[in-house]
Amino acid sequence: MPRHFTRRSLIRGITAATAVATLATGLAACGGDSDAATTTGAAGTVTVGRLSNGAAKETSLKVSEVKSISAELPASIRKSGKLVIGSGTLPAGAPPLGFTGSDQKTLTGSEVDLARLVAAVLGLEPEVKRFTWENLFVGIDSGKVDVGFSNITDTEERKQKYEFASYRKDDLTFETLKKSPWTFDGDYRALAGKTVSVGAGTNQERILLEWKGKLEKEGKKLTVKYFQDSNSTYLALNSGKIDAYFGPSPNLAYHVTQSAGTPSPTRLAGQFSGAGATLQGLIAATAKKGSGLAKPLSDAINHLIDTGQYAKWLTAWNLTSDAVTTSEVNPPGLPLDNA
């Protein structure tokens, strides 16, 4: 049966869906091998949500290799017997996407859990490596990483170097102090006179800088600030150095729950699609262009959707509002002109 995914025109209001993303950093740290909290048993059981410190409900899922899908893999990957997965979550992590678990050493998070489910369908041993955001793409470019599962937005610009297999909706959100009256209603002019933090090298930075340019042409100012990690960002928000933080909805929604009851509670203050005003943004598994991985990755994700394991993964991580009905290979993404 043909698979179709309908994208709605999207400029949503202040209620943010629970989505996920990585706070990008400008650090040039090296990537490294990582323990991971998702385990694969001999009987094909993959446990998701382990060591999540309350961010997820630990759930064991039965997943077996699907020979017709693993046969689609490039010969070199089949021969190696492993799938090298890149996570751009250094240095501080970004719950619930990817972060250090409650044992203070193990990588856990929704993205690496899905990556390991996909690896099980492909009959491959997952090997997870952590990087800073920029170095994740360096790892893919150099061949050190087969595929990135790290809240990577499908964009037309990135398609010049990478191929995609979509698996989750991509929505972006503004977060402010709860006491702030400011709200983003989808109109960039609401940002005039504001100071906003964003992760360097991210899709949300591109959108924010586009708005900044439009405001400048109108004689208005938007100040954009960058910080090395989420802790620094929230210190700046709490102290009034910035008015808002613009980032992936899941990360920010998670932080709002964590800040409730603290001296500086925050709230979500408006949402926007990661693909612009007229196209639903999509998060995708990302491999080097021409690698031949996008189709088997997409087919593996669709198998998880069809068998209900995908829905159970989303439920475990409280991300059901991010669900897609199908995984697509290289679907339309954020346009080059960001229109």
Mean pLDDT for back-to-back runs of 10 residues, the chain (339 residues): 37 34 34 52 78 93 97 97 96 90 93 97 96 96 97 95 97 97 96 97 94 98 94 96 96 91 96 92 97 98 98 95 96 81
**Which DSSP letter does residue 114 get?**
H
Distance separating the N- and C-terminal Cα atoms of the chain: 33
Structure tokens at 257: 């729950």
Cα separation, 166 vs 146, whole angstroms:
16
Cα separation, 312 vs 328, whole angstroms:
20
Residue 49 CB-density burial (10 A; 0-12 exposed, 13-18 middle, 19+ buried): buried
Helices 294-307 and 309-316, axial angle in degrees (round to 10):
80
Cα separation, 252 vs 24, whole angstroms:
14
Cα separation, 242 vs 295, whole angstroms:
42
* pLDDT value for 20: 34
- Do residues 283 and 169 touch, judged by C-beta distance below 8 A? yes
* pLDDT value for 22: 35
- Do residues 273 and 322 touch, judged by C-beta distance below 8 A? no
CA dist 49 → 25, 54, 231, 285 (Å): 25, 9, 23, 19
* pLDDT value for 75: 97
Cα separation, 84 vs 33, whole angstroms:
10
* H or E element that contains 255: helix 249-259
**What is the SS3 assignment for 164?**
strand
Cα separation, 261 vs 234, whole angstroms:
15
CA 289 to chain centre: 19
Cα separation, 100 vs 98, whole angstroms:
7
For the chain, the 3-state helix, strand and coil shares in percent, each to the nearest 5, are: 30, 25, 45
Per-residue exposure over 84-115, b if at least 16 CB sit within 10 Å of its own CB, e if not: bbbbbbbebbbbbbbbbbeeeebbbbbbbbbb
Cα separation, 131 vs 137, whole angstroms:
9
- pTM, rounded to two decimals: 0.79
* pLDDT value for 18: 34
Conformation bin of residue 116: beta by default, left when phi > 0, alpha when psi is -120 to 50: alpha
CA dist 260 → 29, 100, 263, 265 (Å): 32, 22, 8, 5
* pLDDT value for 271: 93
